[in-house]
Amino acid sequence: MRSGQDLNLHNADDHICYLGYNPTLDGLRGIAILLVLFHHLWPWEWSTSLTTIITRTSHISWIGVDLFFVLSGFLITGILLDARHRKHYFRNFIVRRALRIFPLYYLFLLICFLVIPYILNDMDLKETSQDQVGQNVFWYVFYASNYIWMLNEPVLVELVGIDALRLAVKSPEFLGLTWSLAVEEQFYLVWPFVVFVFWKRLPGSIIGIILCIILLRLFLVSTIESWADATYMASICRADSLMIGAGLAVYARSTAFRPEIWDRFAFTGLWLCLPAVIIFQLVFPGRQTPFFSVLGYSLIALGFAGLLASVLRNQQSLLKVIIQASFFRWFGKYSYGIYLYHMIVWFLMQKLINAELAADGSPIHGEIFNPIGGSMLIDAPVRMLLTVFITVAMAWLSYHCYERHFLKLKRLF
């Protein structure tokens, strides 16, 4: 792909479907959110000899977030390229994104900081909510929660002098998942300007950004103590996943598009990169190995980009039929609400039935905790499915009774 080439919105139409609404993308979102649910809700500590394989699989299902990143990079870059010559390019993009994201996100923050502490009558949590006003509330309100890890990094505290900003207490667990939303929102703020100014040089720019991010992760792994958090959550370390999705959108619209190159990339990503990462994670679970923190995220993104490239092809395949199943598309439609609500439901369920776990995996209230069905083997999947059911009900109600009214306004922009 040559730097500075023109874009052609019809060059690839005979081979792939990338313009307008595509139900396949909803299916991919559905798979992504189901992976995230499995990762967060399957209780690792409750695994038995019969559930070890399931538990090991749940360890790596955090990669669902990376699938979201690739999809966002692809979709947002496509939207920007297609709208580049239209009037009010910046205004329309920012307002439409805000109408989709802000209403539910800020409702979520109100629930987390104002409602939940009083529902539980949990004084520790209530104190946390009040003390964090002006401290960690700031990080969440302004989509900067993915950089909270800096506040406890000794090297950065010493060099930058941020000790005064350090949080007095750890934030509730259901707020932790906002880091990925922060990564995407920061991308939405910067990327429209890059596309508008450098659209002729996007291919080379994307490749350069990816290489710089890999080098940055290598530097962080070699320099700071808490590099696992930095390389996983910092936008400047995770933008390669968004860039790989963006590169796919650029190539789909390029005059240099070649079906054989698209298919070769799809095969390499889907059948080589993705299986390699999964096998590596099964053998060396977690994100704490230097090799994985430097290269692993890029390989995951290449794998999911290969999956995306495969299902965007016009010809039908078994993989495409599966991904377009109504089950996955339904979850994809409500994936945003499910993502935000599921840890609140899980947290409340653990609190209300005294099922919180200590560091060693034992119930904190063991003397009064009775597992569902009298067995941990039954309790874990039942509790997970019950949480999913309540979460999807909340997401459905939220979408149809609240979010949809804001989404209707998008037609004005």
Residue ranges covered by each domain of the chain: 29-38+65-257+325-360+368-409
Measured in whole angstroms, the distance separating CA 106 from the mean position of its chain's CA atoms is: 18
HSE of 295 in the Cβ direction (CA atoms, 13 Å)? 6
Residue 184, CA distances (Å) to 162, 275, 351 in order: 24, 26, 31
Instruction: Please give the helix or strand (H or E) that residue 76 lies within, else none.
Output: helix 64-82
Q: Is the dihedral of CA 303, 248, 80, 242 positive or negative?
A: positive
For the chain, helix, strand, coil in percent to 5 are: 75, 0, 25
* Cβ atoms of 355 and 383 closer than 8 Å: yes
**Helix 178-198 and helix 235-252, axial crossing angle in degrees, nearest 10:** 50
How many residues are there in the chain? 413
Query: What is the Cα–Cα distance from 132 to 141, expressed in whole angstroms?
Result: 12
Query: What is the Cα–Cα distance from 299 to 204, expressed in whole angstroms?
Result: 19
Terminal-residue alpha carbon distance, the chain: 33
What local confidence, expressed as pLDDT, does residue 119 receive?
Answer: 72
Using 70 as the pLDDT threshold, list the residues of the chain that sit under it: 1-14, 19, 44-51, 120-135, 149-171, 352-377
Structure tokens of 343?
């840890």
What local confidence, expressed as pLDDT, does residue 374 receive?
Answer: 62
Residue matched to tokens 């609500």: 341
Phi and psi (nearest 5°) for 357? -110, 145
HSE of 356 in the Cβ direction (CA atoms, 13 Å)? 10
Query: What is the Cα–Cα distance from 258 to 11, expressed in whole angstroms?
Result: 9
Residue 306, CA distances (Å) to 209, 276, 313 in order: 19, 13, 11
CA nearest neighbour of 282 among 102, 57, 110: 57
What local confidence, expressed as pLDDT, does residue 176 receive?
Answer: 86
